[in-house]
Structure 1
Amino acid sequence: MNAYLSVWRLRFINGMQYRAAAYAGMVTQLFFGLVFIMIYVAFYGHSTHEQPISLKDVVTYTWLQQIFLAFIMLWFRDNEIFQLITGGNIAYELCRPCGIYEFWFAKLLAQRVSSAVLRCFPILLIALLLPQTYRLSLPQSVTTFMLFLVTLLLGLLLIVSISMLIYISVFWTMSPTGSILMIAVAGEFFAGLIIPVPLMPAWLQQASYALPFRWTADFPFRVYSGQIPQTEALWGVLIQLLWLAALIGFGRWSLNLALRHVVVQGG
């Protein structure tokens, strides 16, 4: 366990050094957050039907996406791991006195946390100071906020476990491009990052509920806004834990299978 905590700490410290990139990303996230909110304001202003989610909750949903983008984006990748697999340097990883799955998991988790820490607080402050229509709303109660934190952290673990499957697939495909495109595009859509899940047609919502992606972003954000009641949120935490156990179990099995057939050429 100390080895995994150490690599997490080192990766976190290393990630905190990229401040210029983080500030540039923060400006981009603010820009896109405002653009998306303007689109929703225009949509709600001209809609003649009552929507399943209020404009206030959609604005909050959008800002939470931008604030915690590093937690929920599936296209976030570590090229070093891809190069280890495709270049043959995976042999060095096999010599480590620790599990590869846990080692990589800790690295990916630290990278996401460090990126989020650098960006989230300035965006949060600005989103709270905007005019009423564009402002991030506060949670209804302390209990709701605590539930949000629990679901958000579980969502982060879920997104890392899904990302691990992308890296593991490269043992067979030898190219990360296809895996990233397929999983990232589908994952972002069903997680509600393109349009919020409540605004989807009923049949697409059912498909979203049957997949793990929705539990990484849509579920925590709707817990924050209070659209998902606290009792339902507690059941959702249980489902998140079940998905997490299933994904980690499948990922470990897949990695062990890949390592049994891996061939390292050269010398």
Structure 2
Amino acid sequence: MKKYISYFRMWLVMGLQYRAAAFGGVVTQFFWGFMEIAAMHAFMESDPSAYPMTMEATCSYIWFQQAFIAMLSARIFDGEILESVRSGNIAYELCRPVRIYDLWFFRSTASRLSGAGLRCIPILLVAVFLPKSYRLSAPADVRQFAFFLLTLGLAVLVSVAYIMLIYISGLYMVSTDGFRRMCSSLMDFLTGGYIPLPFFPAKVRQVLELLPFASMQNVPLRVYSGDLAGAAMYRAIGLQIFWLAAMVAIGRLLCGNAERKLMIQGG
């Protein structure tokens, strides 16, 4: 375990060095945050009875979504992992006394945490002092914030476990470009990345909330805003744990099978 923790620390420190890229990301996230909140205001004013969330909860959802996009987004991949599979450099990692799945999992988690760590603080600090109609609201109490942190940690792990399945698919395919784009689009849409899940029709939402995608950004952002609480919140946490265990087990199985059959071309 020590070697994986060392890899985690190394990639976390490396990721924190890209401050200029993080600054550009902060500017982009502020732009998208304001644009989304303005669109939600227009939607609410057109038909308040059809709006399933309070405006305060919606603003909190959007600002946390933008602050932690580097941690929960389906569009962020580790290019070096993808290239190592394509080029055959994965052979070097197979020679090391490590498990490929565990190594990539720790590395991916560190990369996502470092990317979000540089962006989230300035975004959240500014969002707190915005005008009321755009402001990030404080959690109702300490208990709600504690559950938010718990669900956020689980959401990151579930997101990484899902991305790991995409990485592992590269061990079975000649090219993963099309498959990767399809999985990314699916994750973005079904996690509430474009439209929060409460805005979907009731019957559709009931199905979506059972899928692993709902256990990603949907759960922690709604827990913080107070839109998800009580028995529904405990059920969502249970689903997060279930999908994390299931996807890690599937990923380990597929990765182990691929390692035994993998052929490296070239010399």
Q: Is TM more than 0.5 here?
A: yes
The normalised TM-score by structure 1 is 0.97
Name the CA distance, whole Å, in 1 between partners of 2:266 and 2:38: 56
Name the CA distance, whole Å, in 2 between partners of 1:173 and 1:266: 17
Structure 2: state its 5+ residue gaps. Answer: none
Matches within 5 A, 1:5-24: 5-24=5-24
1:90 match: 90
Q: Say whether 1:227 aligns with 2:262.
A: no
Q: Secondary structure at the match of 1:173?
A: coil
1:59 match: 59
Name the CA distance, whole Å, in 1 between partners of 2:186 and 2:135: 29
Q: Secondary structure at the match of 1:49?
A: helix
Structure 1: state its 5+ residue gaps. Answer: none
Q: Secondary structure at the match of 1:137?
A: coil
Q: 1:58 to 1:48 in 2, by over 3 A?
A: closer
Cα distance, 1:5 vs structure 2:
0.4
| Contact persistence 1:93–1:100 (CA under 8 A) | yes
Name the CA distance, whole Å, in 1 between partners of 2:206 and 2:218: 13
2:74 match: 74
Q: Provide the identity percentage.
A: 41
The normalised TM-score by structure 2 is 0.97
Q: Secondary structure at the match of 1:152?
A: helix
Name the CA distance, whole Å, in 2 between partners of 1:44 and 1:38: 10
1:28 match: 28
1:139 match: 139
Cα distance, 1:98 vs structure 2:
1.2
Code of the residue aligned with 2:237 in structure 1: it is V
| Contact persistence 2:15–2:115 (CA under 8 A) | yes
Cα distance, 1:54 vs structure 2:
1.4
Q: How many residues align?
A: 267
- TM-align CA RMSD: 1.2
Runs of 4 or more above 3 Å deviation: none
| Contact persistence 1:75–1:180 (CA under 8 A) | no
| Contact persistence 1:223–1:230 (CA under 8 A) | no
| Contact persistence 1:144–1:230 (CA under 8 A) | no
Q: Say whether 1:118 aligns with 2:113.
A: no
Q: Secondary structure at the match of 1:42?
A: helix
Q: Secondary structure at the match of 2:172?
A: helix
